[in-house]
Amino acid sequence: MESAASRLETVRSNIARACKPARRSPGDVTLIAVSKTHGAEAIRPLIDAGQRVFGENRVQEAQAKWPALREAHPDIALHLIGQLQSNKAEEAVALFDCIHGLDRPSLLTALARAMDKAGRLVPCFVQVNIGDEPQKGGCPIAGLPDFLAQVRATPIPLAGLMCIPPADTEAAPFFQFLAKLAADNGLSGGVAGLSMGMSGDYETAVMLGATHVRVGTALFGERGAAQG
Ligand SMILES: *Cc1c(COP(=O)(O)O)cnc(C)c1O
C-alpha cells in the first residue's frame, strides 16, 4: 500500500501543477486533509509528513479524536466542513479554527452568540447550495446577497464561499459559478476564499480559483461503506 507521505506528496504536486496554467501560487491554496471516519493511527503519519490542516464533518467525532492529537502539535488547524446544527455551535467554536457550513440565519445567530461568549472569532465560509438541490445544505443562490449582508453585520470573519456540487455531474461549471458569485458579491481578488474541490476534482477547482480544497479519499484511501 502507498504510504501516507507519498499520497500527500502526490496531492501536493497535483495542486502545484494545477496552479501553473492559472498563474497561481501553490502557497495560495490550502490543502485540508479530510480525516472524517479515520482514526488517530491513520492521521498521525500525515502529521508526521508535515500536514497541518485537517477537516472533520462531525463535532462529536472531532472532539473524541483531536484534543490528544493536537497536544503534540499545537500548530494544527482544524476545519469543520460538514453541516452544523445550531445547538452544537458552542462546541464547534471551542474546537474548530474555521467553519465551512454557515448557511442560514439561525446558525449565524447561534455562532455569533457562541463566539461572543467564548471571546473567540472563528472565520466562516458561507456554504452555497450551488446546484439548487432540495436535499442539500447551503444558502439558496437567490438569497445569498441578503445572507452575506447579515453575516457582515456580525463580527464573524467572513472567509469566503463554499460549495459541494451535485454528485455525478461535471463539477467545473459549478466551481466557475461559485467564483462568479464571489466576485459579484465583493468576495474576490484575494479578499476572501473559495472552498471547493474534493478528491475527484480538486485540480479542476484549483484551476478555477479554489483557495481551499477538501481532500479525503486521495489522502487516506476509501472510507468504510457505511460511513460519511
Ligand atoms: C467528505 C468530504 C470531503 C472529502 O471528500 P473526498 O471525496 O473523500 O475527498 C470534502 N468536503 C466535504 C464537505 C465532505 O463531507
- Cell triple for residue 167? 454528485
List the grid coordinates of 28: 495560495
Band (pLDDT 50/70/90 cuts) for residue 144 is very high
Nearest ligand 1 atom, CA 164: 13
Q: What is the mean pLDDT of the chain?
A: 95
Judge if the beta carbon of residue 178 lies within 6 A of ligand 1: no
Cell of 180: 462568479
pLDDT at 226: 43
Q: Which helix (H) or strand (E) holds 11?
A: helix 4-19
Indicate if ligand 1 lies below 6 Å from the C-beta of 199: yes
In this prediction, residue 223 has a pLDDT band, given cuts at 50, 70 and 90, of confident
Q: Does residue 36's CB lie within 6 angstroms of at least one atom of ligand 1?
A: yes
This prediction has a pTM of 0.96
Atom of ligand 1 nearest to the CA of 199: 9
pLDDT band at 192 (very low <50, low <70, confident <90, very high): confident
Nearest CA to ligand 1 atom 6: 216
What local confidence, expressed as pLDDT, does residue 1 receive? 65
**Residues sharing a CB contact under 8 Å with residue 149, sequence separation 6 or more, in sequence order:** none
pLDDT digits (tens, 9 = 90+) for 119-133: 999 999 999 999 999
| Per CATH, domain 4-219 is 1.10.3660.10 | no
Residue 33 and residue 219 in contact, taking contact as beta carbons nearer than 8 Å: yes
Residue in the structure block whose three cell numbers are 445567530: 109
| Domain boundary assignment for the chain | 4-219
Residue of 122, 125, 124, 127 lying closest to 95 (CA atoms): 122
**Between residues 128 and 188, the one the model is more confident about:** 128
Q: How far is the CA of 73 from the centre of ligand 1 (A)?
A: 23
pLDDT digits (tens, 9 = 90+) for 51-98: 999 999 999 999 999 999 999 999 999 999 989 999 999 999 999 999
112-121 in b/e form (b: 16+ CB < 10 A) is bebbeeeeee
pLDDT score recorded for residue 148: 97
Checking if the pLDDT of 162 tops 50, the result is: yes
Q: What is the CA radius of gyration of the chain?
A: 17
Instruction: Tell me the C-alpha distance between 178 and 219, whole Å.
Output: 25
Atom index in ligand 1 nearest the CA of residue 217 equals: 8
pLDDT score recorded for residue 227: 46
Q: How many beta carbons lie within 10 A of that of residue 106, not counting itself?
A: 11
Q: How far is the CA of 128 from the centre of ligand 1 (A)?
A: 16
Q: Is the pLDDT of residue 190 over 70?
A: no
List all residues 6 or more positions away from 54 whose beta carbon is below 8 Å from its beta carbon: 32, 33, 34, 35, 43, 66, 76, 77, 78, 79
